Structure 1
């Protein structure tokens, strides 16, 4: 049996893999983080390392699960929105939400630790990678990275821009997304112009700066247990997407084509993934106009449909086959 550990919404890649599992008549079950609150009765016997999840349609014994796929778990805002009426101040609502999240987090961590000897696609303990640590390790394995600094000083920003000419600013951790009145807003990588720098205070919140890489095209690479499925994105041909292709132009989408990395780059990326203890993930690179492959970051649990569809890789079926093989 396969257990898919996920969240209840926003999981397009997960749902398409499940379609293939259904087609292949695989034995699987999907456990969303909110199921432990809303949809099942469960008992975890810690002393005997036994756990049973009782749903109306099925009872799951963890001892009978042969393979796991970790996607995500629970939206950080879940408890805040669900129980906000219990608290009368924003601070208490936030603290209460954080406490409930931490309680469920410990259950999730125990799920992994108690079953860690079994096959897992995506190591639950490693999916929250530190972007800075990953950049440093990439360089250790001979992979080019942008010049990168973190600073809170306007003076240092000016020095960095004078040294590199064009520079960008991006999130140190994951990019934030907000919603209002049915519209979503996301933080993007952006050019830090002289005008923006001039408007900065002398000290500001810590920010990550990198030199702008003169790119020929961007690369999104899906990695699955030693295999690479690459896609070139010609984002630089459109001013809207030239800095960050995630600022999608839906009227005139970027051209996207299958791409094969040089073996020397694949070998270095394989060493990096093994060092990070990741057997899958989406890797972002830039092919520079000088011919260099410049590493940007890894998303261990990113959606991979955007690579699968345009390149006809059928990654959803490949993931399903991987899980079926590991659960045999």
Structure 2
């Protein structure tokens, strides 16, 4: 019987909640928590002649998986590796991470199975500047955008747009807080913000790293569009009903309405075409609908969270759809 491989971390509630669904289906699965890898795992990759043996064992439980039996992979969430020694020197730690990454993905990349989604596809889909260009090529409107480390270019850009200027991160809104120890963390993150006069007076800081600026798009409401294979779950977010979410809807302290909605057929087709162009079987897109009912693409999140959407819109069955898709693909390969 073929097995589903889940790649995530020990804090991922998405992976926690899909496990009982697999158990009810009598579907075998094996989970790798990257924040405990390789510390709590034993790996073996051996080639002798035309025979290959590729095993990953979870040491505390004794459970193991023969990667030759994998029929589908849910490549859910990355996490920093963990090692037996906590006192590795900086160079030792850097080398340990590189060797572990080589070893792990040397095991995983050869898997000829169904992926949600393959690391190569995820990597290619994650560049925000490229996303904007591709979305425009698929017919989406996009905000006027600027990525630069030149303060003078920011001034020119601001003079060209007719709305407020916003700043948003390119990589992660948590400002890499998850990549450092607790005692080294200086902030938990930064929301999308409108650039005010004080920020304009300190534009020299832009010289330090490339920064991402966009024109502020007026919103009627926002959409979180989650795609699982060919299924589209469109969540209408009433972000303009609360001051805390007018600029950035990710402030979950505001009890704004989330509701299911149907996309116009041409917008749905664009979303599916965009996702499929990256060879993704899952993704989550953020889209603005303007007061003039124009759909403006913001970004694509190839490993974006979806559980909060399902919790806020109970009729959505994203987790169940994902589990059914993975199980079906495993059966096809049994």
TM-score by length of 1: 0.88
2:75 matched residue in structure 1: 70
Find the aligned partners of 2:232 and 2:86 in 1 and give their Cα distance: 44
- C-alpha distance 301-202 of structure 1, shift in aligned 2 (>3 A): closer
2:108 matched residue in structure 1: 112
2:118 matched residue in structure 1: 123
Alpha-carbon distance, 1:142 to partner: 0.6
1:171 matched residue in structure 2: 169
1:186 matched residue in structure 2: 189
Matches for 1:112-261 after TM superposition, within 5 Å:
112-115=108-111, 117-128=112-123, 129-164=126-161, 165-175=163-173, 176-178=175-177, 180=182, 185-201=188-204, 204=207, 205-249=209-253, 252-261=254-263
Tell me if 1:300 matches 2:302.
Answer: yes
- Matched-pair contact (CA < 8 Å) for 1:7–1:75: no
1:309 matched residue in structure 2: 311
Matches for 1:18-57 after TM superposition, within 5 Å:
18-46=19-47, 48-55=51-58, 56-57=61-62
- TM-align CA RMSD: 2.3
Alpha-carbon distance, 1:37 to partner: 2.1
Find the aligned partners of 1:202 and 1:300 in 2 and give their Cα distance: 30
Alpha-carbon distance, 1:228 to partner: 0.6
- C-alpha distance 241-34 of structure 1, shift in aligned 2 (>3 A): closer
- Matched-pair contact (CA < 8 Å) for 1:119–1:326: yes
TM-score by length of 2: 0.87
Alignment gaps of 5+ in structure 1 = 88-92
Farther off after superposition, 187-196 or 139-148: 187-196
- Matched-pair contact (CA < 8 Å) for 1:282–1:298: yes
1:96 matched residue in structure 2: 92
